[in-house]
Amino acid sequence: MQDLLYFLQQLINGLTIGSTYALIAIGYTMVYGIIGMINFAHGEIYMIGAYTALIAITGLAALGIAWLPLILIVALVCAMIVSSSMGWAVERVAYRPVRGRHRLIPLISAIGMSIFLQNYVHLAQGSRNIGFPALIEGGFRFGSEDSFQTSISYMQITIFATTLICMSLLSLFISRSRIGRACRAVSQDLGMASLLGIDTNRIISATFVIGAALAAVAGLLLGMYYGSIDPLFGFIAGLKAFTAAVLGGIGSIPGAMLGGLILGVAESMTSGYLSGEYKDVVSFGLLILILLFKPTGLLGKPEVEKI
């Protein structure tokens, strides 16, 4: 019984982290699906989202507003606006001019952008980590009083619910809306889509904006969950999310969700049963293994090389 409760706790923690990875992974997978490049700066956009949310929360507190839903909504909207603008600007400045060149060139440009954004925030906000207030406290507990108790905090429930809402909205958007349909068309065949009158530049920008907005949501959620942020925390989270995207099959949106959840659970099981220090080793090891044995991921389509 005790073991089962412990296992359940790790599973809950894993799914919580995993669902935020999935939110970030969407940005990688959509961009890769459309223009075939790894947006290395995506982790930094997520980090900027978290910073903006924290700035908004502190600002509202300074104004004396204490009604929780209002604070959360304002922080979320601010973070999404700033991150999406950032995503749009990054694409415009660093990726559009090099689109269509040799594969390595956009990638190096993206690494440069990632270093730039890290240091931009570092210079503006300092390198020390800053505490993020835990706005949502408390939770449920299971199990008897005198032994191990499994707990689900309200924060974890909020993370699940928000992720679920975002993913459903995204699926609806991609399958029903005009821009969503255009996105799918562009990801199938960019040249053909532009021949049929789709403004491909606009669609690519839209992809970056959507991915950045979801990353901002993840930034707010993870900032509250972990309780502190620093300018470098986007880098590892970005790598993890990329791993999730590859795990599920890059280019596939359901794949990103699945990959995120699997990665999150694998990580929390490692820290629960082995040691917390090795959880990064496990996720990178998983990435290497997946790429070696099933490069298309769990739900991805094989890529045919055209001559």
284 binds other proteins (CB under 8 A): yes
For residue 20, which of 200, 129, 167, 169 has the smallest C-alpha distance? 167
The residue within the footprint of other proteins, chosen from 1, 64, 66, 103 (CB under 8 A), is 103
14 versus 49: smaller Cβ distance to other proteins: 49
Cα of first residue to Cα of last residue in the chain, in angstroms, is: 59
Q: Of 84-92, 134-142, 163-171, 261-269, which part binds other proteins (CB under 8 A)?
A: 84-92
Phi, psi of 199 (to 5 degrees): -75, 95
Separation of alpha carbons 182 and 198, rounded Å:
7
Q: Contact, 249 vs 298, CB < 8 A?
A: yes
Separation of alpha carbons 38 and 41, rounded Å:
9
How many Cα atoms are found within 13 Å in the side-chain-facing hemisphere of 181? Answer: 6
Separation of alpha carbons 190 and 185, rounded Å:
7
SS3 151: strand
The residue within the footprint of other proteins, chosen from 70, 202, 278, 301 (CB under 8 A), is 278
The residue within the footprint of other proteins, chosen from 17, 30, 82, 257 (CB under 8 A), is 82
User: Smallest distance, Å, CB 307 to other proteins?
Assistant: 6
The residue within the footprint of other proteins, chosen from 17, 25, 72, 121 (CB under 8 A), is 121
The residue within the footprint of other proteins, chosen from 15, 23, 54, 72 (CB under 8 A), is 54
- For residue 304, the cross-strand partners are none
User: Smallest distance, Å, CB 291 to other proteins?
Assistant: 5
How many Cα atoms are found within 13 Å in the side-chain-facing hemisphere of 91? Answer: 25
Separation of alpha carbons 196 and 206, rounded Å:
18
The residue within the footprint of other proteins, chosen from 65, 68, 123, 195 (CB under 8 A), is 123
SS3 250: coil
15 versus 219: smaller Cβ distance to other proteins: 219
100 binds other proteins (CB under 8 A): no
129 versus 149: smaller Cβ distance to other proteins: 129
SS3 109: helix
193 versus 212: smaller Cβ distance to other proteins: 212
Q: Of 6-14, 139-147, 157-165, 280-288, which part binds other proteins (CB under 8 A)?
A: 280-288
Query: Within positions 186 to 225, which residues make up the interface with other proteins, using CB under 8 A?
Result: none
Separation of alpha carbons 253 and 30, rounded Å:
7
Interface positions with other proteins (CB under 8 A): 37-38, 48, 51-52, 54-55, 58-59, 62, 78, 81-82, 85-86, 88-89, 93-94, 97-98, 101-109, 111-126, 128, 130-131, 133, 235, 239, 242-243, 246, 275, 277-278, 280-281, 284-285, 287-288, 291-292, 295, 305, 307
